[in-house]
Amino acid sequence: MLKLLNLLKDGRFHSGQALGEAMGVSRSAVWKQLQHLESELNLTIHKVRGRGYQLATPLSLLEASAIAAFAQGEQWPVLVHDSIDSTNAEALRLIGKGQAAPFLVLAERQSAGRGRRGRHWVSPFAENLYYSLVLRVEGGMRQLEGLSLVVGLAVMRTLHTFGVKGAGLKWPNDVLVANKKIVGILLELVGDPADVCHVVLGVGINVNMQSNDQVDQQWTSMRRETGDLIDRNRLVAQLNQQLQHELSRHRRYGFAAFQEEWEQAHLWQGRKVSLIAGNQTVDGIVLGVDGQGGLRMDVEGVEKSFSGGELGLRLRDDS
């Protein structure tokens, strides 16, 4: 099936005969595989008599060799899956099996992609980026302070290099364009955070997705914003390079070195918000972030800081 997909990924018409000859199968076998691509991967394939078969939109398939060709600097081992439950879940399994970090897990699609606070992350085949980087962390909690915010900065800057100029940050782990979500970030820890542990940096980027009725919030994608089909292999290489730079700076100086630049990129700076923690809500005005990456808010004239993986932030109706 993937051999057929590689022949079709250019988005051009290919005759059934040519596809059959390239694959060494009959035209009827090609037809069966085409039907499987449509039903299993939810791909739209145009069928035109006299011209053949064409994917409704070209695909950029992930390949470790193509990522390496774009790479600059250190190259992390890359594991690419056609389909998996979740790249973060696979990364955690590999940590448990003793896989040496750093390494990167990618997938063309996820059957059980996860966002923060247990939310489902919609993961159509070969359209977006499902990315989990595993790092070994030594030196205690200081190495983890504000780490998710640093990852957000790195992702935002990567999007800027691809022409998504309006991308900015939302505390704690989202990248937005005009209040539409384009990136979600989920960090998961294994081990002793006070000594030696592993951290999985999970990043989901809406790349080439143009329509999807399963997403339950306002969203956009790199292709929607730029009008261009994005080469996801180049995107991975650029994101790797940006993360290497920012993570090195974070290890050396801590999050305090990023505090001002993160605040400058925060789209909700100075806005009226509601902070949600379970069944409790705190209303206030965003002041910025503290030296550990916690959210600073003016709550009835008093500055308070908030942090924690289960917190959510929403704009107030009167903001």
226 belongs to an annotated ligand binding site: no
Per the residue annotation, which of 109, 170, 181, 223 is the catalytic one?
181
Catalytic annotation present for 3:
no
Distance from CA of residue 294 to its chain's centroid?
A: 22
Per the residue annotation, which of 116, 170, 224, 232 is the catalytic one?
116
110 belongs to an annotated ligand binding site: yes
Query: In terms of Cα–Cα distance, which of 223, 221, 76 is closest to 135?
Result: 76
Give Dmax (Cα) for the chain: 74
Catalytic annotation present for 272:
no
Catalytic annotation present for 116:
yes
88 belongs to an annotated ligand binding site: yes
Per the residue annotation, which of 3, 117, 165, 314 is the catalytic one?
314
12 belongs to an annotated ligand binding site: no
293 belongs to an annotated ligand binding site: no
Helices 27-41, 16-23: axis angle to 10 degrees equals 90
304 belongs to an annotated ligand binding site: no
49 belongs to an annotated ligand binding site: no
Answer yes or no: are the C-beta atoms of 105 and 91 closer than 8 Å. yes
One-letter amino acid of 235: L
Token pair for residue 240? 């790797």
114 belongs to an annotated ligand binding site: yes
What own/partner pairs with CB < 8 Å and gap ≥ 24 does 273-281 have? 273/297, 273/313, 273/314, 273/315, 273/316, 273/319, 274/313, 274/314, 274/315, 274/316, 275/306, 275/311, 275/312, 275/313, 276/311, 276/312, 276/313, 276/314, 277/306, 277/308, 277/310, 277/311, 277/312, 278/310
Q: Annotated binding site for biotin, which residues? A: 86-88, 110, 114-116, 181
Q: Which residues carry out catalysis?
A: 116, 181, 314
